[in-house]
């Protein structure tokens, strides 16, 4: 692999993006289109007793009103509208009218009689004896159902309250109380590990929730034609969203036509679409007209998802040389009004992987609160694990007199490193490969760690600098997905891509691999994407940094299938055996006599003439039904490569990014300036270098924002979110980053996948988060803060008072 | 306890509830003294959009972003917040960047408006900044792209040879949530260079 993979290129959608021709969901119009406005719950928890819509319906121009009663039952899972709002801002009903002003006026004329119910915004408050439950059915999610349960499975909700004695001393000291856990695993001899430790630290850290706030809100427009739903919406995963919409609307997946060529960001909040898509879909059916739902930024802050906030307590034993001897981790996760989410589990596994403790225990409670719903947010879990454990490592290194890079290097994973508990098969899991030490060494060199370390801690007027480093991990690949591609009589290669186009370019990158295998010039490759009506294969969701790994494998399988078929076809046409023929230069030709052969265009024509497996009329047995339907629709257009990825994989695929940060703290104002940041990835073979460094920078910037500013604030008295604007959620701006940032990858292929590529989107988040907070601790002291974001007031007040001055445990402040 | 939504709202407001959630209570508060009634009077005005005279009926509370997107079909201008926070809707009014979500259309009759659709040359050739963004692959999801490009276009008219620091300030009214601001800045600096050459 060399011609295309690893080379920069211009993705074919770029001109549309720079000219404004790229159309996102809200850019579509339909004849007679109505607009909808939502009525949101003003209460954090209530029951709808009655709704009087008469005054609204009497308003000229009002066409239909949709309530929860119009939605299919989803077995207790979240629906787009509700009769029991579980958070302030949850939609109760939607009005469709001829224009938005009329719809808004109609919403104001509706009388909703709400019965207030108990609510709670802080997970620890819900765990107190007699504390309120967020939901009538309970306050916590138990462990996953055996066998997973699948989508729509009944919720294993339960009620858990801790004893008063569990709080006492720990709470007074600002440590997370550790009552009964609902989930637990361990491996190794924890007691022996702590007994062997020269230093034991026990620290509590509060990570924050933040709204995802993609630039494009979850606006959607829907209409019905010939009994099918046509919906223009915003999703990270076109192929994977179709089935979700069908379930939310109550129709068959084959009756959903989802169009989403461009997605204005998601960061996990649009992983498989958004449940709110069912509002315009069902309103359109009720009103018998197209319906546009424009979601405002304020609405997005409620329904647009947020990161789970974890309060974690880490007790860590260290040998004198810095090696970790034992890690005991306890997590209280706030999963918001819905869930369940697995950040707490991913956090435990990530801690086990990147710190490689020989003995570890992980315990967790996954608590519900009446706060806006969460979903996975870019590095869900591993990033929070960095937040919880990194301050402990930093403090230990200072106390033991060990360099911060060295202590992380000696404890870092190497090769097929083991992590997590013993699996049902009796073995601990392992990664396919880890080159963390190589990335740490490279990063220290590029960052000039030693020189920067030497100047850290020196006062220059009111300014003091500090440096920090963190290994950010994340799962980085799945397997078993399908691909479809056709070589057509025009001589071009058409690659079907079911990936969402959310800006990572993986939607196009996967076709580079197919073109490489077939030795096809990139100019002759057409990527078909963004519309389920265009016959897309069964594709991984673009979450969890899995797409590059999963879909390069699938497209390699499809391209190898096409290559095999070209060889078989030409052998049938021209004699000899398939092995006599090679593929290259847009031809399939005789290896011994390269003048003999067929052009791709001619091979495509002959494939169509022969039919059968050559042009997609006979399909492999093991492909997904969605792939089968799409391939069937495309049959006869050319020579078809269609396959499921069945390449072996030994272990779990993880990617790593090492973040190095230098900050300057003004101890008179508490202000932090990020002076420099370097990120080095161990993320496998690089497919698209320019996009890869952009992913590391963008991901790191999300982590940096979490270290410095970004948060969600909820008023505990009224239960309403106060972060309903960009301004209040404090995202990073262009002025908050250094004037230049350097990121790169070690580029060592992952041993577990034939293409060598793995995901990169998520590992940099924890790297940015941890590195910046570690650098602040290096500058002003390792005990100044134990929560994020590390705002100026925390730094200033703690320094002035000579002790930590912030809420030790409370969430959403 | 039984209460209607409106009564609850009034109670919360009387109790000093937070102003940031006031939008939920829109009906309970006068919204800029407007009556957002259907059939609100529209008036016919003339705008000069991307060099063309456009006659358009606008309501008095209508923003330029809505006029461009819903009446003139120019959907390249994006709405990211509709509250002057993110800059995705930035267009040029007489060469000066404006948040089109916060400009009432009827206040700019006769003024020159340039949107992302108006940057290309007559023959469809890309504007130097557009070319630079393609060359540098400057954006990811690109929803913020039109706003950034328009802000940079306006800024470079006042300072054609900026430092990275200066240009960063020039586009600091624009948010990106994919957040590779470093590459955005590199692409826009390249755009400045291309503009100086043309």
Asked if residue A215 is part of any domain, the answer here is no
- Containing A768, the helix (H) or strand (E) segment is helix A763-780
A161 Cβ under 8 Å from any chain B Cβ: no
The full set of domains in chain B, from first to last, is 1-30 (no CATH), 42-80+93-117 (3.10.20.30), 128-197 (1.10.150.120)
Residues of B in contact with A732 (CB under 8 A): 179, 181
Cβ separation A694–B168 shorter than 8 A: no
For the ranges A126-140, A617-631, B42-56, the lowest mean pLDDT is seen at B42-56
Asked if residue A681 is part of any domain, the answer here is yes
* % helix, strand, coil for chain A, step of 5: 35, 25, 45
pLDDT per position as a tens digit, A756-808: 999 999 999 999 999 999 999 999 999 999 999 999 999 999 999 999 999 99
My answer on whether A518 and A373 are in the same domain is no
- DSSP string for A161-183: ---HHHHHHHHHTTPPP----SE
Quote the minimal CA–CA distance from A8 to chain B in Å: 9
Which of A684, A711, A696 is closest to A658 using CA atoms? A696
Mutate to test the interface with A, among B89, B142, B162 (most CBs of A within 10 A): B142
Cβ separation A694–B141 shorter than 8 A: no
CB B37 within 8 A of CB B101: no
**Chain B residue at shortest CA distance from A300:** B81
Mutate to test the interface with B, among A15, A16, A18, A733 (most CBs of B within 10 A): A18
pLDDT score, position B5:
43
pLDDT score, position A578:
98
Residues facing A316 on adjacent strands: A201, A327
Residues of B in contact with A33 (CB under 8 A): none
My answer on whether A381 and A425 are in the same domain is yes
Within 13 Å of residue B127, how many CA atoms lie on the same side as its CB?
Answer: 21
CB A381 within 8 A of CB A345: yes
My answer on whether A497 and A410 are in the same domain is no
Assign residue A486 the CATH number of its domain.
3.30.365.10
Mutate to test the interface with A, among B14, B21, B91 (most CBs of A within 10 A): B21
A633 Cβ under 8 Å from any chain B Cβ: no
On the question of pLDDT at A38 being above 50, the answer is yes
My answer on whether A463 and A536 are in the same domain is no
On the question of pLDDT at A519 being above 70, the answer is yes
My answer on whether A665 and A546 are in the same domain is no
Cβ separation B140–A722 shorter than 8 A: no
Burial (CB count within 10 angstroms: exposed 0-12, middle 13-18, buried 19+), residue A729: buried
pLDDT score, position B18:
33
Which residues 437-466 in chain A show a CB within 8 A of chain B?
Answer: none
- Containing A387, the helix (H) or strand (E) segment is helix A382-400
My answer on whether A513 and A612 are in the same domain is yes
- Containing A447, the helix (H) or strand (E) segment is helix A436-447
pLDDT score, position B198:
84
My answer on whether A632 and A656 are in the same domain is no
pLDDT score, position A146:
61
pLDDT score, position A147:
58
**Chain A residue at shortest CA distance from B4:** A113
Q: Give the integer Cα–Cα distance in Å for B49 and B25.
A: 36
pLDDT score, position B11:
39
Asked if residue A321 is part of any domain, the answer here is yes
On the question of pLDDT at B17 being above 50, the answer is no
A8 Cβ under 8 Å from any chain B Cβ: yes
Asked if residue A519 is part of any domain, the answer here is yes
Residues of B in contact with A721 (CB under 8 A): 21
pLDDT score, position B179:
95
Mutate to test the interface with A, among B26, B65, B76, B182 (most CBs of A within 10 A): B182
Assign residue A70 the CATH number of its domain.
3.90.1170.50
For residues A43-66, average pLDDT:
98
pLDDT per position as a tens digit, A319-369: 999 999 999 999 999 999 999 999 999 999 999 999 999 999 999 999 999
My answer on whether A637 and A664 are in the same domain is no
My answer on whether A739 and A600 are in the same domain is no
* pLDDT class of B41 with cuts at 50, 70, 90: low
My answer on whether A487 and A634 are in the same domain is yes
Asked if residue A507 is part of any domain, the answer here is yes
A15 Cβ under 8 Å from any chain B Cβ: yes
- Sheet harboring A742-745: ordered strands across? A459-460, A463-475, A654-666, A672-682, A742-745
* Host domain of residue A68: 31-117
* pLDDT class of B8 with cuts at 50, 70, 90: very low
Cβ separation B38–A101 shorter than 8 A: yes
Count of CB atoms situated within 10 Å of the CB of B167: 24
Residues of A in contact with B117 (CB under 8 A): 19-21
Asked if residue A200 is part of any domain, the answer here is no
A690 Cβ under 8 Å from any chain B Cβ: yes
Cβ separation B88–A502 shorter than 8 A: no
Asked if residue A81 is part of any domain, the answer here is yes
- Compute the CA torsion angle A722, A726, A730, A736 (nearest 10 deg): -170
A14 Cβ under 8 Å from any chain B Cβ: yes
On the question of pLDDT at A811 being above 60, the answer is yes
On the question of pLDDT at A713 being above 70, the answer is yes
Nearest CB neighbour to A502, from listed B83, B115, B141 = B141
A22 Cβ under 8 Å from any chain B Cβ: yes
CB pairs under 8 A between A and B: 231
Mutate to test the interface with B, among A52, A215, A294, A725 (most CBs of B within 10 A): A215
pTM: 0.94
* pLDDT class of A153 with cuts at 50, 70, 90: low
On the question of pLDDT at B173 being above 50, the answer is yes
**Chain A residue at shortest CA distance from B77:** A20
| Domain count within chain A | 3
pLDDT score, position B21:
34
Asked if residue A227 is part of any domain, the answer here is no
**Chain B residue at shortest CA distance from A696:** B180
Residues of B in contact with A104 (CB under 8 A): 26, 36
Which of A71, A87, A67 is closest to A79 using CA atoms? A71
My answer on whether A624 and A739 are in the same domain is no
My answer on whether A472 and A486 are in the same domain is no
């Amino acid at each position: 692999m060399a011609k295309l993979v690893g080379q920069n290129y211009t993705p074919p959608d770029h001109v549309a993006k720079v000219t404004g021709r790229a159309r996102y969901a809200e850019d579509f119009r339909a004849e007679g289109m109505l607009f909808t406005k939502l009525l949101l719950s003003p209460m954090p928890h209530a029951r709808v007793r009655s709704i009087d819509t008469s005054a609204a319906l009497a308003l000229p121009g009002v066409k239909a009103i949709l309530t929860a009663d119009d939605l299919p039952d989803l077995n207790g899972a979240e629906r787009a509208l509700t009769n029991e709002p579980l958070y302030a801002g949850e939609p109760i009903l939607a009005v469709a009218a001829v224009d938005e002003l009329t719809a808004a006026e109609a919403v104001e004329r509706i009388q909703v009689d709400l019965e207030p119910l108990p609510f709670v915004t802080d997970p620890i408050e819900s765990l107190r004896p007699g504390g309120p439950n967020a939901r009538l059915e309970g306050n916590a999610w138990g462990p996953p159902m055996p066998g997973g349960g699948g989508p729509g499975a009944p919720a294993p909700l339960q009620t858990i309250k801790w004893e008063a004695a569990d709080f006492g001393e720990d709470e007074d000291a600002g440590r997370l109380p550790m009552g009964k856990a609902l989930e637990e695993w361990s491996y190794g001899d924890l007691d022996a590990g702590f007994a062997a430790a020269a230093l034991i630290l026990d620290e509590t850290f509060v990570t924050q929730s933040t709204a995802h706030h993609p630039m494009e809100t979850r606006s959607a427009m829907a209409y019905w034609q010939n009994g099918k739903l046509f919906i223009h919406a915003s999703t990270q995963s076109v192929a994977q969203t179709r089935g979700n919409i069908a379930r939310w609307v109550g129709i068959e997946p084959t009756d959903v036509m989802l169009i989403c060529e461009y997605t204005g960001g998601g960061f996990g909040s649009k992983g498989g679409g958004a449940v709110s898509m069912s509002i315009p879909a069902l309103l359109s059916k009720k009103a018998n007209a197209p319906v546009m739902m424009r979601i405002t930024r304020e609405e997005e802050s409620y329904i647009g998802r947020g990161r789970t906030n974890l309060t974690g307590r880490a007790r860590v034993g260290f040998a004198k040389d810095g090696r970790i001897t034992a890690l005991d981790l306890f997590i209280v996760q706030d999963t918001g009004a819905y869930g369940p989410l697995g950040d707490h589990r991913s956090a435990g596994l990530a801690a086990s992987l990147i710190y490689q403790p020989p003995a570890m225990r992980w315990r967790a409670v996954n608590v519900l609160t009446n706060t806006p719903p969460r979903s996975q947010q870019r590095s869900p879990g591993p990033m929070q694990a960095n937040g919880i454990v990194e301050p402990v490592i930093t403090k230990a290194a200072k106390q033991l007199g060990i360099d911060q890079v060295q202590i992380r290097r000696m404890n870092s994973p190497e090769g097929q490193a083991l992590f997590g508990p013993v699996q049902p098969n009796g073995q601990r899991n392992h990664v396919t490969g880890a080159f963390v030490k190589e990335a740490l060494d490279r990063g220290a060199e590029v960052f000039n760690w030693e020189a920067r370390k030497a100047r850290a801690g020196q006062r220059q007027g009111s300014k003091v600098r500090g440096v920090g480093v963190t290994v950010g991990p994340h799962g980085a690949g799945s397997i078993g997905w399908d691909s479809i591609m056709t070589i057509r009589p025009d001589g071009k290669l058409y690659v079907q891509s079911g990936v969402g186009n959310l800006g990572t370019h993986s939607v196009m990158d996967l076709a580079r691999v197919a073109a490489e295998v077939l030795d096809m010039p990139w100019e002759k490759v057409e990527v078909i994407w963004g519309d389920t009506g265009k016959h897309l294969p069964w594709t991984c969701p673009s979450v969890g940094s899995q797409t590059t790994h999963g879909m390069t494998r699938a497209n390699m399988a499809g391209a190898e299938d096409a290559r095999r078929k070209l060889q078989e076809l030409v052998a049938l046409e021209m004699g000899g055996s398939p092995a006599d023929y090679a593929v290259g230069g847009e031809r399939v030709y005789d290896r011994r006599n390269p003048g003999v052969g067929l052009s791709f265009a001619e091979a495509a024509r002959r494939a169509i003439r022969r039919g059968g497996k050559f042009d997609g009329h006979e399909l492999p047995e093991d492909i997904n039904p969605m792939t089968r339907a799409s391939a069937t629709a495309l049959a006869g257009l050319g020579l078809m490569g269609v396959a499921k990825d069945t390449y072996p994989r030994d272990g779990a695929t993880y990617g790593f990014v090492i973040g190095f940060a230098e900050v300057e703290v003004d101890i008179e104002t508490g202000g932090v300036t990020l002076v420099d940041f370097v990120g080095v990835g161990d993320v496998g073979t690089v497919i698209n270098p320019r996009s890869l460094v952009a992913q590391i920078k963008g991901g790191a910037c999300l982590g940096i924002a979490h270290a410095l500013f970004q948060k969600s604030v909820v008023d505990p008295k009224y239960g309403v979110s106060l972060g309903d604007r960009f301004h209040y959620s404090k995202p990073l701006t262009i002025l908050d980053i250094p004037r230049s940032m350097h990121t790169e990858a070690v580029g060592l292929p992952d041993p577990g996948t034939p293409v060598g590529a793995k995901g990169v989107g998520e590992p940099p988040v924890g790297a940015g988060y941890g590195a910046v907070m570690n650098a602040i601790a290096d500058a002003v002291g390792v005990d100044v803060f134990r929560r994020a974001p590390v705002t100026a007031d925390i730094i200033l007040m703690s320094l002035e008072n000579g002790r930590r001055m912030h809420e030790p445990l409370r969430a959403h402040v | 306890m039984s209460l209607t939504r409106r009564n609850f709202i009034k109670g919360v407001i009387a109790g000093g509830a937070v102003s940031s959630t006031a939008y939920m209570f829109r009906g309970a508060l006068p919204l800029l003294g407007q009556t957002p009634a259907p059939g609100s009077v529209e008036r016919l005005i003339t705008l000069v959009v991307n060099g063309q005279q456009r006659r358009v009926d606008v309501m008095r509370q209508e923003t330029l972003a809505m006029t461009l997107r819903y009446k003139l079909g120019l959907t390249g201008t994006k709405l990211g917040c509709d509250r002057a926070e993110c800059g995705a809707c930035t267009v040029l009014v007489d060469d000066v960047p404006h948040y089109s979500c916060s400009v009432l259309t009827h206040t700019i009759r006769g003024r020159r408006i340039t949107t992302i659709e108006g940057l290309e040359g007559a023959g469809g050739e890309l504007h130097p900044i557009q070319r630079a963004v393609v060359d540098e692959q400057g954006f990811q999801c690109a929803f913020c792209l039109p706003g950034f490009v328009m802000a940079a276009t306006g800024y470079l008219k006042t300072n054609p040879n900026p430092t990275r620091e200066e240009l960063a300030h020039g586009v600091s009214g624009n948010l990106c949530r994919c957040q590779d601001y470093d590459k955005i800045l590199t692409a826009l600096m390249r755009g400045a260079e291309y503009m100086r050459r043309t």
